[in-house]
């Protein structure tokens, strides 16, 4: 048996099995932690091998069972396998960080199990070739992330009541989104008679070419903007994010902002450019408008925040707008720029949320106005936050500069002059609020110890600092050597605009 043939199912099945095993090992916490780290590293290695296979040999199709397009089919193209690598890398670092950050009882009982379910849901979402199974994996993501948001951290400053309130908002809005997705999926099946995305593409295109496209297909396509927009927290569906990301433990905030909201962007790319490509003329102007409003609202709201994690949450709202702006423009260059932006933001924002955990541990508060002068007492956190802030602000020589440069260049070449002007204006806002945050926390006089208490003298462990340093190094590498990422993103964009190889692989190629 060639194990490489089974990589698409292994990166989903192993975390599911580990989820059950972690519950059984809760009485052996040391072994539980060690095994989970080893397996997470193994999943990252397998995801990299899968991406290299797809790059060298083409799209990989894996049939679960023997029912072909009528059953569960996993499809690993460059977009899906690339997203699996991104999520596996960030999840491994977030898990290592969690070992010293999450409170022991919470960590040993439910945290490991729910974290593995989250990884399985992410990998399944990125690799499924069936739109109903995407819905199933969305539900796994929702339930596991709700449990992780309420996990307790060591020396936590967040009230349990705040966690429960944020989780309730998150749960309700996502349940509504799930209901709408189920309605959209059921309507598609009733109209076209299939749930396989490649088969949907063929049949909807045939209807369009024959001039018999039912009007409600366009309505279904619009429903998916609500579904995926809710996952990505774009306007006007962003209200859950500024409550959930600050109250979640910092490693989970990193997962939510670094990977989870990118699921919405992935869904738009996968569904619209494969299934609804004949309706893009209607959808793209809507996506651009929503993206611009999202950029503006997130940036303006971030300026007024005094809670460091809430500022980073609103920043994520604004930054995901830039990703959707590239998607809305829809050219090959713009799509590639959007993917470059997505990757750079995922890494930089994950690093910032992990760094914020170290800052909160050191200061004992999330309120930036109760900090100050920490550049002396927490020099590593100061440096790491500055690197992340520079990247999000789009300053050289970091990855965020390359991301903004290629996105604005794509907009200018596509003659989207007003969107690029608006995007550039709010990029200035980003520079302001990110550097204002750094100055409030790290510069100036040390805070009044009599009023707010002294800073913690307890140093951060390597399990907290090493993941942050690795992500900071990645941000720097993507700034000075961005060519591989740009090349990969360009190839993914070409595959999105020409889905025929994907369709051939699923419907006409060799399937295990």
* Confidence band, pLDDT 50/70/90 cuts, at residue 211: confident
Instruction: Name which of 121-135, 388-402, 449-463 the model is least confident about.
Output: 449-463
What mean pLDDT is predicted for residues 194-200?
89
> Is 321 or 443 the better-scoring residue by pLDDT?
321
Please state, in angstroms and rounded to a whole number, the distance separating the CA atoms of residues 254 and 260. Answer: 9
Q: Are strands 72-76 and 60-64 parallel, antiparallel or unpaired?
A: antiparallel
Report the domain count for the chain. 1
**Is there a contact between 350 and 306 (Cβ–Cβ < 8 Å)?**
no
Task: Using the predicted structure, report yes or no on whether residue 108 has a pLDDT greater than 90.
Answer: no
The mean pLDDT value for 7-19 works out to 93
Which residues are 102's β-sheet partners?
Answer: 153
Q: Which range in 356-360, 443-447, 454-458 is most confidently predicted, on average pLDDT? A: 356-360
The span from the CA of 509 to the CA of 504, in Å, is 6
* Structural element, H or E, at residue 341: helix 332-363
**Among candidate residues 107, 84, 85, the one with its CA nearest the CA of residue 96:** 107
Evaluate whether 309 touches 356 at the Cβ level (below 8 Å).
yes
**pTM greater than 0.85 (yes/no):** yes
- pLDDT, one tens digit per residue, over 380-429 is 989 999 999 999 999 988 999 999 999 999 999 999 999 999 999 999 99
Output the average pLDDT for the chain: 89
What proportions of the chain, in percent to the nearest 5, are helix, strand and coil? Answer: 80, 5, 15
Q: Looking at residues 148-176, what average pLDDT do you find?
A: 84
Lowest-confidence segment of 65-74, 79-88, 285-294, 337-346 by average pLDDT: 65-74
What letter does residue 110 receive in the DSSP assignment? I
Q: By percentage, how much of the chain surpasses pLDDT 90?
A: 57
pLDDT at 69 over 70: no
Angle made by CA atoms 238, 249, 9, in degrees to the nearest 5: 80
Mean pLDDT for 457-475 is 88
As a whole number, mean pLDDT of residues 193-201 equals: 89
Q: How many Å apart are CA 437 and CA 382, to the nearest integer?
A: 11
pLDDT digits (tens, 9 = 90+) for 476-488: 999 999 999 999 9
pLDDT at 447 over 80: no
**pLDDT for the residue numbered 510:** 39
Q: What pLDDT is stored for residue 84 in this prediction?
A: 96
Mean pLDDT of 223-237: 90
Q: Please give the span between the terminal C-alpha atoms of the chain, in angstroms, as a whole number.
A: 13
Evaluate whether 77 touches 502 at the Cβ level (below 8 Å): yes
* Listed ranges 61-65, 72-76, 454-458; the one with the highest mean pLDDT: 72-76
**Residue-wise pLDDT tens digits, 269-325:** 999 999 988 888 888 899 999 999 999 999 999 998 888 999 999 999 999 999 999
State yes or no: pLDDT of 458 exceeds 70: no
Q: Which of 69-73, 94-98, 412-416 has the lowest mean pLDDT?
A: 69-73
Asked if residue 233 has pLDDT above 90, the reply is no
Q: Is the dihedral of CA 354, 359, 364, 369 positive or negative?
A: negative
Are the beta carbons of 406 and 335 closer than 8 angstroms?
A: no
Token pair 């929702």: residue: 142
- pLDDT score for 1: 58
Confidence (pLDDT) at 186: 93
Look at residue 134 in the predicted model and tell me its pLDDT. 92
Per the CB < 8 A criterion, the answer to whether 51 and 78 are in contact is yes
What digits encode the pLDDT tens for the residues 246-269?
A: 888 899 999 999 899 999 999 999
Residue 369 in contact with residue 440, Cβ under 8 Å? yes
511 band by pLDDT with thresholds 50, 70 and 90? very low
Tokens of 468: 């942050």
* Rg (alpha carbons) of the chain, rounded to whole number: 22
What pLDDT score does 70 carry?
61
Supply φ then ψ for residue 147, to 5 degrees: -65, -35
Q: What pLDDT is attached to residue 512?
A: 37
Between 63 and 455, where is the model more confident? 63
Taking 90 as the threshold, does the pLDDT of residue 493 lie above it? Answer: yes
Of 4-13, 97-106, 118-127, 393-402, the least confident: 97-106
- Confidence check: pLDDT of 156 > 80: no
pLDDT for res 150: 86
Which residue would you say has higher pLDDT here, 273 or 365?
273
pLDDT at 402: 94
Give residue 509's pLDDT.
Answer: 47
| Res 77: pLDDT | 92
- Which range marks the domain in which residue 343 is found? 3-508
Distance CA 303, CA 315 (A): 9
């Amino acid at each position: 048996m060639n194990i490489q043939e089974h990589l698409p199912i292994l990166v989903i099945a192993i975390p599911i099995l580990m989820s059950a095993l972690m519950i059984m090992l809760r009485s052996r916490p040391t072994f539980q932690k060690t095994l989970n780290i080893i397996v997470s590293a193994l999943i990252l290695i397998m995801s990299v091998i899968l991406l290299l296979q797809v790059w060298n040999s083409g799209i990989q199709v894996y049939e679960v069972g023997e029912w072909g397009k009528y059953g569960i089919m996993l499809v690993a193209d460059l977009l899906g396998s690339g997203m699996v690598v991104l999520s596996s890398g960030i999840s491994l670092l977030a898990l290592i960080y969690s070992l010293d950050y999450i409170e022991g009882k919470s960590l040993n009982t439910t945290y490991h199990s729910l974290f593995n379910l989250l990884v399985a849901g992410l990998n399944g979402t990125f690799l499924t070739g069936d739109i109903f199974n995407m819905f199933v994996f969305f539900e796994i993501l929702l339930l596991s992330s709700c449990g992780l948001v309420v996990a307790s951290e060591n020396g936590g400053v967040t009230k349990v009541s705040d966690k429960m309130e944020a989780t309730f908002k998150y749960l309700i809005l996502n349940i509504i989104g799930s209901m709408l997705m189920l309605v959209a999926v059921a309507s598609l099946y009733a109209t076209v008679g299939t749930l396989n995305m490649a088969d949907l593409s063929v049949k909807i295109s045939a209807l369009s070419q024959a001039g018999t496209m039912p009007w409600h297909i366009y309505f279904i396509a619009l429903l998916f903007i609500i579904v995926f927009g809710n996952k990505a927290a774009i306007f006007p569906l962003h209200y859950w994010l500024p409550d959930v990301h600050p109250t979640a433990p910092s490693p989970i905030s990193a997962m939510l902002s670094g990977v989870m909201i990118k699921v919405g962007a992935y869904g738009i790319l996968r569904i619209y450019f494969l299934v609804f490509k004949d309706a893009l003329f209607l959808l793209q102007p809507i996506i651009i408008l929503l993206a611009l409003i999202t950029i503006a609202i997130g940036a303006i709201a971030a300026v007024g925040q005094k809670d460091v994690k809430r500022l980073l949450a609103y920043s994520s709202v604004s930054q995901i707008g830039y990703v959707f702006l590239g998607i809305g423009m829809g050219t090959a260059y713009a799509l590639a720029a959007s993917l470059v932006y997505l990757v750079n933001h995922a890494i930089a924002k994950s690093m910032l949320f992990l760094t914020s955990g170290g800052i909160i541990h050191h200061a004992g508060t999330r309120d930036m106005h109760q900090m100050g002068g920490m550049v002396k007492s927490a020099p590593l956190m100061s440096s790491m936050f500055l690197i992340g802030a520079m990247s999000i602000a789009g300053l050289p020589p970091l990855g965020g500069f390359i991301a903004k440069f290629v996105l604005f260049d794509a907009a200018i070449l596509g003659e989207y002059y007003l969107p690029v002007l608006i995007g550039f204006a709010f990029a200035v806002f980003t520079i302001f609020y990110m550097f204002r945050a750094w100055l409030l926390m790290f510069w100036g006089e040390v805070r009044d110890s009599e009023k707010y208490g002294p800073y913690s003298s307890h140093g951060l462990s390597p399990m907290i600092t090493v993941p942050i340093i690795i992500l900071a190094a990645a941000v720097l590498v993507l700034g000075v050597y961005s060519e591989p990422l740009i090349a990969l993103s360009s190839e993914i964009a070409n595959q999105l605009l020409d889905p025929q190889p994907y369709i051939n692989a699923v419907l006409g190629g060799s399937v295990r």
